[in-house]
């Protein structure tokens, strides 16, 4: 059973990091590295037949921290569905613009599309969550 919000994260590893601005390249690289750590942790636990809570699970859905909204739904639906039609793309663009305007997402997100945008937003949100969690502690 696969979540309807399946993020084709493994596809994001095909996106070239050099595509992104210097400001974000390190974050994106760190995010990809963190995803690899999750995969390695799963492998290690499966090898030991020891199913326990993953230490780095929160990386797998960085958008969980953003409150639910119509815009968020439209944007993520488009990003996670490769078969989306022109209507879905248009709605997603409007949604992205609205979220940037509200300050929920960064302006730089407007520069990217599809896989690059998904990777950018995932890494950006992940870094934000990480800092927030660090500040709480």
Partner 1 sequence: MTQLERNLIKKFRDKMNDNHHFVANKYWNIDGKNKWNIICSAMDWIEVAVDGIPYIQLANKNPNVASLNLMQLICALDLVVESVKQLYRVFEQHYPCGNDHSVFQDKKTDDDYFKHIRAMFGVHPVNLKDDEERYYASWSTPHLKADFSVIVYSNQVGKEDQIYSIRIEDLFKCTQSRYSLLSVLINHVERDYEAHLKKWKNQQIPDCLNIKDQINVLFRENEQRFGRGEAYWYQLGQLN
The site for partner 1 (CB under 8 A) is made up of 1-3, 5-11, 13, 35-36, 38-39, 42-43, 45-49, 51, 54, 57, 60-61
> Quick one: 43 or 90, whose CB is closer to partner 1?
43
d(CA 114, CA 82): 9
Complex with partner 1: residue 60 or 88, whichever CB lies closer: 60
Where helices occur in the chain by DSSP H, the ranges are: 9-12, 22-47, 70-80, 86-101, 114-136
Closest approach, Cβ 135 to partner 1, in A, equals 26
User: Which C-beta is closer to partner 1: that of 38 or that of 100?
Assistant: 38
HSE (CB half, 13 Å, CA atoms) of 65?
18
| Whole-number Å distance between alpha carbons of 108 and 55 | 30
Closest distance of CB 111 from partner 1, Å: 26
């Amino acid at each position: 059973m696969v979540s309807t919000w399946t993020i084709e994260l493994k596809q994001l590893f095909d996106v070239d990091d050099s595509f992104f601005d210097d400001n974000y390249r390190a974050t994106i690289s760190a995010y990809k590295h963190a995803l690899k750590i999750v995969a390695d942790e799963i492998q290690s636990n499966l090898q030991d037949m020891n199913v326990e809570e993953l230490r780095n699970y929160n990386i797998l859905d960085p958008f969980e921290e953003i409150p639910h909204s119509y815009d968020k739904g439209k944007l993520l639906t488009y990003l996670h569905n490769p078969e989306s039609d022109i209507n879905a793309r248009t709605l997603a663009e409007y949604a992205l613009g609205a979220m940037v305007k509200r300050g929920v997402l960064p302006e730089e997100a407007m520069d990217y599309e599809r896989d690059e945008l998904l990777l950018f937003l995932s890494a950006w949100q992940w870094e934000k969550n990480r800092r927030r969690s660090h500040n709480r502690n």
